[in-house]
Structure 1
Amino acid sequence: MSSAKSIPSRKTSGWNLASSFASGSPIAQEILARDIAEDSEDEVVADDDFLDGEGSDNSSDGGPVLYKQPSGVAYDYRRPSMLPEVINEPVLTREERKKSRDAERSLLRDNHLIPPKHAPEERRGFWSVLYRRLFSTKVRKSPGDEEVPRITIGPSEYSPLLANADHPSVLDGEHLNAQWEAAVASGAIETTWRRETKTIATYSRSLIITFLLQYSINIASIFTVGRIGKIELGAVSLGTMTANICCFAPMQGLATSLDTLCSQAYGSGHKHLVGLQLQRMTYFLWLLTLPVAILFFFAEDILRLIVLEPRSAELAGLYLRVVIIGVPGFAAFESGKRFVQSQGLFQATTYVLLIAAPINIFVNWLLVWHFEFGFIGAPIAVAFTQNLMPVLLLLYVCFVDGSQCWGGFTKRALSNWGPMIWLALPGMIMVEAEWLAFEILTLVSSRLGTSYLAAQSILVTITSTTYMVPFPVSVAASTRVANLIGAKLVGAAKTSAKVAFFAGCLIGLFNLTMLASLRFKLPHLFTDDQEVISIVATVLPLCAVMQIFDGLAVVAHGLLRGIGKQSFGGYANILAYYLVALPIAFVAAFPLGLNLVGLHLGTTIGLVLVASVEYWYIYVSDWDKVVHEAESRNMAG
């Protein structure tokens, strides 16, 4: 299994969002070893050699890793973000290694340690000079700064035949590693806020689009049904919440184990084992569909015991009975998403959503309004879209990329489930806890009456949509800080963390301004009921203030993941939300009679507490010790 050895663990960055879910990764190694032992084909595909666009990096040394795609992301809103400690590091894909090389070269150029990519202009105009001063990512060097010797680039079997001798911008893997090690050892690698802003923005922009597209599948039914009436608006939110807690969140959590299993199978060189892991998880989730279907079928009777309004419980139960049809598709898509991501095909799900999300909006309108199906049209549209997405992903794998990891259907997928389930359970508990803290507020709001339940549906939709901006930035910041820590660049990691903090502040201020200025406009997008509109307009100013702390808190979660201290974030979230925020929300809503204002007041206090505690912990943490812990973990890996 030479390909697994081609990336020395001592130099890989210590964290990746995919491994953040892998609390039981030794179990993953056991599963992989068992599968390889049973594998008669013994297909090992070497992945050592590749071209990165600037030269050939055919070195056995993988080099420091400065690029990691956040492949473990589950595309839904999740609060609070509680992630377990990282145990070991998943392997790098070909695309990740290529982008890592590009990132290394870029930082070396910024620090004037290798020649520029392009020959400098002899004369620069005014606008060119102004642009460089404002946006250049290069580190400004003082005349007295000590220079790190550049590595002389001699010809090798991988050197381009027509390289420009005056501006040799090409470094092969061996020379790049040597120059990088010399620069890191002398402390010559620095970064600028411009570089980190550009990097975080690049990492997060596609994620923002993806998150918004995925969430649009959930909120499309709220938009279309809201115009029917406030009872229907509250019922669709109640049905969605119940489906999330009882089905979608647990399945999503169980599927996160594939972030580890598929990545390690891919890195072992036995690429067809990635398809084996996909089959196992899909079959397992489909088996769980049976008890879920029974629960959803009788959900109306259960909801009648909780919800005061019988009609809301009836419609929510109808929603759940129809959504049962889409559960197998959801399970297949969650598994398939990890299948393509483990191969570095991170845009596959984005392409699927670019097609599925507009179709979902159209089908909602078509069924609810054009064909006049009314309320039942919304869950039909959701079920249709959930079954459409795995079909689109399958077409992508068959006709675009990803089929190389499919080894065909096999009976082995029906065995070795025990370790897989044991590995998946921590992820399920984690995601379930994340969803439950906020979804429970929707359930409680139903006790206040139909109008308040409808208003809560609108408020949750608005605040969850605004959450789609800082959360991807948090993921990007986590990725970047982890990469810099893994490369032993403490100063650069701190600079990146500061940029992420200010990004969270700016996003929070933007969301605050938008919600506060549109407090009377936004409710009209969902409903025409004046009572519901009045309640939403009353609570929105508090939700607007909450945006600042929401943005800061989610960025803090990302920074804690980046320095490998996410367990502290998990404890802080549990204490803040379940022991402080929710009790305050209940007391303020009911005994004090503040209703929805009270519920969201408790949430806001929880966010303030979480953000304050986590930033304090990040500030007092010994980042040099974090680097040593990363190095020790990588060497142990």
Structure 2
Amino acid sequence: MSQPQDIHDRPGGRRESILAHMMPDSLPLPPSFISTSPIAREILCRDIAECSSESGDDDARDESALLSDSDSTARESQRVVDAKLAFHPNGVAFGMGYSTIPIQGMDRPVPNPHEVEESLRAEIDLLRDNDLIPQKITEPRHRRESMVEQVYRQMFSTRTRDHEENPQETTPLINGSYDYGDRAEAATPPPEVIHERFEEAVAAQAVKTTWQREAITLIKYSAPLIVTFLLHYSVTIGSVLTVGRLGMVELAAVNLATMTASITCYVPVQGLATCLDTLCAQAYGSGHKHLVGLQAQRMTWLLWMLMIPIAVLWWFSEPILRALVPGEETASMAALFLRFLILGMPGVAALESAKRFVQSQGLFHATTYALVIGAPLSFFLNWLFVFKFHWGFAGAATAMAITQNLLPLLVVVYVRFWDGMQCWDGLSRKAFRNWGPMIKLALPGMIMIEAQFSVLEILTISAGQFGTASLAAQSILVTLTSTSFNIPFPLAIATSTRVANLIGANLSDAARKTAKVAIVAAFVVGTFNLTLFVTLRRILPGVFTDDKSVIDIASRVILVCAVMQIFDSLAAVSHGILRGLGRQAIGGYANLFSYYMVALPVSLSTAFWLRWELSGLWAGLVAGLAVVSALELTYLYHSDWDIAAAQAEARLRSEDVSNQELKGGNEP
């Protein structure tokens, strides 16, 4: 790609604002853009050196195999180097979220073959939209359009010339033109020609986009994620739905237990596993594919060891829970639920590693396939244990634990019998080495995710102070709002991906248009969720419980949760845009400020001082999300997107050098 011109001379670029100078991530070429994580490179280089030197070890590959892998990847890199629009949900393994504040590591790992294919498709779409390569089916040159066709073209066409004020009959094409007199199937140029034309078009500033194209792209990217996230969360929904039929105390207890389990185990595990987003992707991209399995093994063993003290805490959690919530029966049942969940701990840890293992290879749907089987089975097990076998409350916990262990086994089955074995060399003793650098790389992700989610635990404990009915209602509201969030959050991931790809391709104007479309989409999604909550405010709580007092509380507070949907969607998508720009630290600090300096004080003061109780707790969250969305949107409005494009180009050049060094693989 040609060197970018001075950003202040670019047509249509926003001038650098005073506000941008005040923000730390707006400084020229911040460290996160200049180089990849030295810790990640240290880990991989050590592993490569060990594999090369320990030829007598049964688990080590010989040097010729390493060179063979590197040569193979070197041949593939000719295509990878042009993958400017590779689809990669940055920092997200399908079925979980990312930290609000960036951890050390690569924001954009080396594209795998699946992503290279996605990049090629995206380039073809943009070139066709700008008439720079022939359409799939060429249009007839002399025919009068009907009224329906004109309306359709104006509303849904992705071609840029269909939305120009004075469209030309023939748009000039780079390096020649395509002239087809009759409607016919047009051949798509080979990938080499596509990449060449895309580079030329970007250099000539000839690549534009439409809101229709960006809307279609965001839908295509987010739809499979929405399905996956909903399937993943349905495991929790199944337990809440089942337990709610047992009684108010059981419903309150399952909320207290699952929230405690999330804060003490699930969230830290997810945070620690985020380092695999960097390690597995770099191992795969550097050509040493067997190291992908080694990194996943190492993280799994580490997480399993951390489970031991957590299991002890859960087993003896009853006195702690009794001190936090007033209802002794609720605390006892929550402690019982946690004891049964200990059985699912190994599966929770293994699934986080397995997701990264398959995702680094571009096998994004492996987790989805596992959930398609596991999620319905979870509902069946809940019914079987709770109602058929009459195990009651313990049956719901048992069903959840079995499902947690089943999901990683299903991913293993997919890898064993379908795809992914090329990155697995079997169990290795080397998985018990080099733990120090990996822990150092993983800790920031765990700390930041834990800090973000701890607020929810505080609010859950606070809800318990208003009685068992309020805690049961809190369980319903948390489940409903968490479910509804699984629509804007995947949209935020899709937006982050698309913005990052366009910025990386030096298409700042197109990235800005994507951001506008995403913000409008976030408002639409938020409005949809709000409407759903308001119109079904008594029906939705009734799905979870028959207790009239719990339904009354939930149906009243759900109106506050409905207002929150607008700000929740806007905050999620605006943070996704910031992440795509590489300025996620701005959104991360804004989130933490809003949670701890706005949401938490407002929640506690309105709930206890003004005696709004549960409504006050949720009102504080509304205030916090309103502040964070306002801060992020204001920053985005005043940001210089052309500077972000220049920084992204510098980062990608740095990553190319680092990846070539890793492919050498012989220096520790």
Q: How high is the TM-score relative to the length of structure 1? A: 0.90
CA contact (8 A) 1:470 1:504 kept: yes
Q: Distance in 2 between matches of 1:68 and 1:60?
A: 15
Q: Distance in 2 between matches of 1:423 and 1:23?
A: 15
Shift in alpha-carbon separation, 1:104–1:112, aligned structure 2, 3 A: same
Partner residue in 2 for 1:206: 224
Q: Distance in 2 between matches of 1:475 and 1:354?
A: 21
Q: Distance in 2 between matches of 1:397 and 1:105?
A: 31
Partner residue in 2 for 1:138: 159
In structure 2, what residue type is equivalent to 1:96? Answer: E
CA contact (8 A) 1:353 1:389 kept: yes
Q: Distance in 2 between matches of 1:149 and 1:510?
A: 42
Select 2:42's aligned residue among 19, 27, 30: 30
Partner residue in 1 for 2:326: 308
Q: Distance in 2 between matches of 1:85 and 1:149?
A: 43
Q: CA deviation at 1:369?
A: 1.1
Which stretch has the larger CA shift, 192-201 or 409-418?
409-418
Q: CA deviation at 1:148?
A: 5.6
Partner residue in 2 for 1:635: 653
Partner residue in 2 for 1:158: none
Task: Kindly provide the CA deviation profile for residues 469-516 of structure 1, in whole angstroms up to 9, marking residues without a partner as x.
Answer: 100000000100111111111111111001000000000110111100
Q: Distance in 1 between matches of 2:509 and 2:104?
A: 24
In structure 2, what residue type is equivalent to 1:592? Answer: L
In structure 2, what residue type is equivalent to 1:131? Answer: Y
Q: Distance in 2 between matches of 1:294 and 1:567?
A: 35
Q: Spell out the pairing of 1:407-556 with structure 2 (5 A cutoff).
A: 407-556=425-574
In structure 2, what residue type is equivalent to 1:151? Answer: N
Select 1:106's aligned residue among 125, 133, 136: 125
Q: Distance in 1 between matches of 2:104 and 2:434?
A: 25
In structure 1, what residue type is equivalent to 2:40? Answer: A
Select 1:299's aligned residue among 294, 317, 320: 317
Shift in alpha-carbon separation, 1:118–1:456, aligned structure 2, 3 A: same
CA contact (8 A) 1:47 1:94 kept: no
Which stretch has the larger CA shift, 218-227 or 196-205?
218-227
Matched-pair identity in %: 51
Q: Distance in 2 between matches of 1:20 and 1:341?
A: 23
CA contact (8 A) 1:84 1:567 kept: no
CA RMSD of aligned residues (A): 2.7
Partner residue in 2 for 1:91: 110
Task: Kindly provide the CA deviation profile for residues 383-403 of structure 1, in whole angstroms up to 9, marking residues without a partner as x.
Answer: 000110111111000001001
Q: Number of residues paired by the alignment?
A: 607
Partner residue in 2 for 1:151: 175
Q: Spell out the pairing of 1:238-277 with structure 2 (5 A cutoff).
A: 238-277=256-295
SS at match of 2:390: coil
Q: CA deviation at 1:564?
A: 0.9
Partner residue in 2 for 1:53: none
Q: Distance in 1 between matches of 2:134 and 2:74?
A: 26
Q: Distance in 1 between matches of 2:130 and 2:223?
A: 26
Shift in alpha-carbon separation, 1:120–1:297, aligned structure 2, 3 A: same
Partner residue in 2 for 1:350: 368
Q: CA deviation at 1:87?
A: 5.0
Q: Spell out the pairing of 1:553-572 with structure 2 (5 A cutoff).
A: 553-572=571-590
Q: CA deviation at 1:434?
A: 2.3
SS at match of 1:404: helix
Q: Distance in 2 between matches of 1:510 and 1:79?
A: 25
Partner residue in 2 for 1:169: 187
CA contact (8 A) 2:100 2:584 kept: no
Q: Distance in 2 between matches of 1:23 and 1:377?
A: 50
Q: Distance in 2 between matches of 1:500 and 1:451?
A: 39
Shift in alpha-carbon separation, 1:579–1:61, aligned structure 2, 3 A: closer
CA contact (8 A) 2:272 2:445 kept: yes
Which stretch has the larger CA shift, 246-255 or 179-188?
179-188
In structure 1, what residue type is equivalent to 2:128? Answer: R
Q: CA deviation at 1:89?
A: 3.2
Where does the alignment leave 5 or more consecutive residues of structure 1 unmatched? Answer: 1-7, 51-57, 155-163
CA contact (8 A) 1:255 1:424 kept: yes
Pair 1:120-2:134 in alignment: no
Q: Distance in 2 between matches of 1:108 and 1:39?
A: 44
Q: Distance in 1 between matches of 2:91 and 2:32?
A: 8
CA contact (8 A) 2:39 2:437 kept: yes
Q: CA deviation at 1:567?
A: 0.3
Task: Kindly provide the CA deviation profile for residues 140-163 of structure 1, in whole angstroms up to 9, marking residues without a partner as x.
Answer: 154579966433699xxxxxxxxx
In structure 2, what residue type is equivalent to 1:204? Answer: S
Shift in alpha-carbon separation, 1:233–1:167, aligned structure 2, 3 A: closer
CA contact (8 A) 2:99 2:448 kept: no
Where does the alignment leave 5 or more consecutive residues of structure 2 unmatched? Answer: 5-24, 26-30, 53-61, 656-668
